[in-house]
Amino acid sequence: MAFLLRKKENPPLEELVNQFLDENSGEVDLAWHLEMEKMPYIPPVVKFMDWMAEKGYNSNYDRKAIEAELLKAVEARVSKRGVK
């Protein structure tokens, strides 16, 4: 019964990143505090990939693409707070 073990079809990366940030709002808080201190924010790519595996999605995305999408989404949420 291998067909029961098939992983879910992946939604678009942007949607997955937004779900991840909704569930892990501390990442946006961390990015905001780092921005206030003029320190760089490094997106949690490994944490995101672990989250995807936990949710049952295939992790067939490129790490650079994940990092870029995480950074873009976090920057958008931080800018809503009025920092950038």
**pLDDT, position 49:** 94
Q: Please write the tens of the pLDDT for every residue from 23-63.
A: 999 999 999 999 999 999 999 999 999 999 999 888 788 99
- CA–CA dist 75, 32 (Å, integer): 9
Place of tokens 């291998």: 2
* pLDDT greater than 70 at residue 67: yes
- CA–CA dist 15, 35 (Å, integer): 24
Report the candidate in 14, 71, 11, 23 with the shortest Cα–Cα distance to residue 51.
23
* pLDDT greater than 60 at residue 2: no
Report the candidate in 10, 6, 3 with the shortest Cα–Cα distance to residue 60.
10
Give the predicted TM-score (pTM) of the model: 0.82
- CA–CA dist 52, 17 (Å, integer): 10
